[in-house]
Structure 1
Amino acid sequence: MSVAIRRPLATLVLLAVAALSGCAANAEPEPTDRALTTEEAQRLAIARFTNYDEGVREIDAEVPGQQPVHLTGWVDFAAHRGYVAVGESDETVGEFGLFAWTRDFVAARDGAVDAAELPPPADGWQTGPLDPAASALQNLFTVALSLGADRPDNPTLLQQSDARWLRDDELDGTEVDVIAGPSSDEPASASAAPTESPVRYWIDERGRLLRVELRQRGSDEWSVLDLGADAEVDLAPVETLGGTGG
């Protein structure tokens, strides 16, 4: 297993912020409750390492907007690769075609499919640089790859940050804590207002990440990325996909 360059957890929030410029001034503040306990900080700290250790997990995501999209497929958190079928809704997923991506490149293949077929089709792909500021979809791709790290984050720094425990919740019968991510790696001051983080993590009692929510640019809507079971799937690197142009 290759060792990837580790990014601080706050980087995920900054990626989401990059897609939030122009957010409405009268947007409702992020609901907050309290600072993290030691145990909550520890579970948040191992969430990305748990993804990295599991390798490949199924994903299912919704991106709202003028052209909403629904996608299903996989992310390899160790190799930093993703592969999905995309449609307008879960009933029509695949109607817009396929996407594959790494931290540097994204490849798209037009034409309706039933699912993210394996192995990926050998031709018909168009590739370009991955730019999280270009669209909510590319921002979600970028954040998805950042959800894996080759070592745990620092729980002490997380507890000292402006990360906030928001509430208890339940996802598919599993109890979770919903946590707003830290806005930086710096300790929060005693007088600091609770974070209005554009990223929320749904984490179970084992420190396993089950859902990530990203606030949409210019609105109060959220992209939702659900992480499912781990899978024995070999995702092809973007650079090996045949293309029709770049």
Structure 2
Amino acid sequence: MEATRPNGRRRSLSLIVVAVLALGALAGMSQGLRSCSTPETKPESSRPLNGTDLQKLGSMRLHNFQDARAGIHGTIGKTGSEITFAGWVDWQRPLIYLSTSNTRSGSPNILLQASPGVVAYRIGKPPGTAATPSPGPSGAGDPALPPATPPSDNWRVRPLGQLIKDKPDPVDSLLALIFSVAANQPDRTDLLEQLDARWLRHDNVLGTPVEVMIGPAVIPLRPWASPSATIPPSSASTQPPASPAVQGVRQVQPGSSAAAPSATASASPSASPSASPPAPNSLAAHGGAVAYYLDGAARLLRMEALLTQEISVQVDLQRDDRPVLTTIDVLGGGMIKPRAVTTVEAKALARMRQRNLNAGGGHVTVTMPVGGGGLIEASGWLDWRTGLAYLYARNLDEPTSNVLVLAGRKGISIKQFQQQKTDPPLPQPPRGGWVTNEWSDLGIKVAVTDIDVLLHEALSLAVSSRDDPVSLGKAAHRLRADMIGKVPVAVFEIPGQQDIGLPSGYARLRYWVDSTGVVHRIEIRTKTGGLGRLDLDVKSKLPALPRTVS
């Protein structure tokens, strides 16, 4: 997932963040955030940003990007029913890794990893974490930090910003907000100056003096333009949002004369889809108003925002907590550095399918994230010499949807089936109830699934003739070196027609190839945004597979 075209990635990230923040106020969130303490400062009046303020606020996102990583912890939701979170962000990859906790409700901890456009989550306390939340810098019970090495199994995936039960997920706006505070160049101060941004007060964060400024959640890109107009159709809601996800900032506590942001700095919680769009120079037109707590070096130590009238968020940053994060496999695994393949690599890829045919095949396991946060696991065998794949696929949430799958060169057959074993029955599959479709019918007469595409690709990776090394040299990219168990591999992508226009590292399929030229893993970028995979053990015993079903 971590392609190395910074300009393209920054543009993509900006669009994703805008799309998420434009999906609407986070109504329906029942857990919450404690009130912040009364600032220990003299009463001050807010004012428009002066030139020095504009330089500080304008450089904040660049500082975050240059520093790359930071620890983050905070709270989100309604006061008195807190969800707390703790973890880290890497703005350059970009990647967020969090553990969340709600001790009052007794809900299990949830691990989260997010990259632009996709969020993965794992329910349940991971091994090795504390049994109860530990006191954190906020003074409240912060959740235990996520394990440095994330668990490898049971991750569910969905697109960032996807509606949950017809409502936006508040965590998505939190993640989008964290992503939004980094950029590889400073904000344009001439554009910031045109917005309703304000200097609010002096304050301190854990003893560090800060200045609090009200600014936009999303970087202003051009004069008087609403970012919502740039949301691509695939990311935007089909209905206009009731209001931006970030509506304003927390109200100043009694005893301070610091003024709250003006009405144009936050969207009205009662706004309806038919309401007039926000003024182009308002903060509401740029993702909403956020309170940024900046130290003397213009580095962000805290940010606060109101997501609705009831739901608020506070994020504290620990600038010296900067571990290198491990990305889970479903989000792409290790960092990639795409480059064109060498002449030697192109020749090896040209013989890859011949080498696979000689290897014969072996036992396979499939892990596939599906829509609605579902997960399918399958196991069985792949025989490259006969052109057959025979698997038992288990839907971990809906066992009644478990199926046997027999795929061949001409088509694919499935049958609903229940059993305790993970591999399909041998020597023959059970009779009756099979539904067969030719490969050419998929996507035309019947819907095509990511597993269909993955199995079709796996079966096509064995032929007796060599492919064209010149064509592969022009198209293929080497992404990184990696390991599968104790086997060193190189990870490649070979973009197809469906990948035209995508940056390097974003092709739909990836191939993990050992030093002999044999594929050990195929990854597919699924409709969820996460990666599914097929792993092949070429050293395992390959039984005779059934050729037909009846």
Pairwise same-fold verdict (TM > 0.5): yes
Q: What's 2:297 paired with?
A: 206
- The aligned counterpart of 1:235 is 326
SS of 1:53's partner is helix
1:19–1:135 contact (8 Å) kept in structure 2 = no
CA contact (8 A) 1:213 1:224 kept: yes
Corresponding letter in the other structure for 2:295: D
**Structure 2 CA distance, aligned partners of 1:79 and 1:216?**
26
* TM score, norm. by length of structure 2: 0.38
3-state secondary structure, aligned to 1:52: helix
Within a 5 Å distance, the mapping from 1:1-246 to structure 2 comes to: 2-3=5-6, 4-6=9-11, 16=21, 18-20=23-25, 33-65=46-78, 68-88=82-102, 95-113=108-126, 114=129, 115-131=145-161, 134-182=168-216, 185=220, 186=223, 195-196=265-266, 197-219=288-310, 221-230=311-320, 231-236=322-327, 238-240=330-332, 245=375
What SS does the aligned partner of 1:5 have? Answer: helix
Distance 1:202 1:154, change over 3 A: same
- Matched to 2:150, the amino acid is P
* 1:84–1:182 distance in 2 versus 1, CA, 3 Å: closer
* 8 Å contact kept, 2:180–2:217: no
Deviation per CA, 1:221-244, whole angstroms, max 9, x where unpaired? 420011112413123155237767
1:43 maps to a residue whose letter is K
The letter of the residue matching 1:208 is: R
- CA distance in structure 1 between the partners assigned to 2:19 and 2:294 by the alignment: 20
Kept in 2: contact 1:162–1:183 (CA 8 A): no
Shift of 1:208: 0.2
Give the secondary-structure state (helix, strand or coil) at the position aligned to 2:193.
Answer: helix
Return 5+ residue gaps in structure 2 as ranges: 28-43, 130-144, 225-261, 267-287, 334-366, 376-527, 529-550
Note if contact 1:32-1:164 (Cα within 8 Å) is conserved in structure 2: no
Contact in 1 for aligned 2:26/2:307 (Cα 8 Å): no
Larger Cα Rg: Structure 1 or Structure 2?
A: 2
Please give the alpha-carbon distance, in whole angstroms, between the structure 2 residues aligned to 1:60 and 1:183: 18
Unaligned runs of 5+ in 1: 23-30
Q: Which deviates more from structure 2 when the two are superposed, residues 32-41 or residues 62-71? A: 62-71
The answer as to whether partners of 1:165 and 1:178 remain within 8 angstroms in 2 is yes
2:76 and 2:313 in contact (8 A); partners too: yes
Show the counterpart of 2:412: none
Comparing 74-83 and 106-115, the one that deviates more = 106-115
Letter of the structure 2 residue corresponding to residue 204 of structure 1: D
The whole-number CA distance in structure 1 between the counterparts of 2:169 and 2:105 is: 21
TM superposition score normalised by structure 1:
0.80
Q: Residue 96 of structure 1: CA displacement?
A: 1.5
- Report if aligned partners of 1:6, 1:150 keep a CA contact under 8 Å in 2: no
SS at match of 2:323: coil
Q: Is the 8 A contact 1:81 1:235 kept in 2?
A: no
Change (3 A) 1:92 1:41: farther
Q: CA deviation at 1:146?
A: 1.3
**1:68 is aligned with what amino acid?**
E
- For 1:93 and 1:74, the matched residues in 2 are separated by 24
1:144-197: CA deviation from partner (whole Å, max 9, x where unpaired):
11111011111222123211111111111111111111488446xxxx966235
1:12-33 deviation line (CA, Å, top 9, x unaligned): 79965644377xxxxxxxx972
CA distance in 1, matches of 2:5, 2:67: 13
- The percentage of aligned residue pairs carrying the same residue is 26
C-alpha distance in 2 between matches for 1:132 and 1:179: 31
Question: Aligned partner of 2:67: which letter?
Answer: E
Cα deviations across residues 70-110 of structure 1 (Å, max 9, x unaligned)? 11000111112100111015x99994220101111111101
Distance (Å, rounded) in 2 between the aligned partners of 1:163 and 1:59: 24
Q: Is the 8 A contact 1:71 1:84 kept in 2?
A: yes
CA RMSD between the two structures: 3.5
| Structure 1 residue matching 2:96: 3-state secondary structure | strand
C-alpha separation between the residues in 2 aligned to 1:154 and 1:7?
A: 19
Return the offset for 1:217. 1.9
Of 73-82 and 224-233, deviating more is 224-233
